[in-house]
Amino acid sequence: TVSEIRRGMQADLHAASLEARELVYQVHQAHSRPVVIRWGTLGLFLGLLTFAAGFVLGRMLPTIP
């Protein structure tokens, strides 16, 4: 009947709403401050490491015959 179809549609909408809410929560967690700080620190460290390696190689290469 129509009422059964309506109840089924409402249940589906409720389930979709819960899934969407969970997805929004996961996206928020992925962009939370500690995660951004962790990746920023890692990027800064790797950039500094790359710079230092280039500096050391630049100082060593002219001395190699």
Euclidean distance between CA atoms 62 and 65, whole angstroms: 8
pLDDT for 63: 75
Q: How far apart are CA 35 and CA 56, in angstroms?
A: 32
pLDDT at site 65: 67
Q: What is the pLDDT of residues 24-37, one digit of tens each?
A: 999 998 888 888 89
pLDDT beneath 50: ranges in the chain: none
pLDDT, position 43: 98
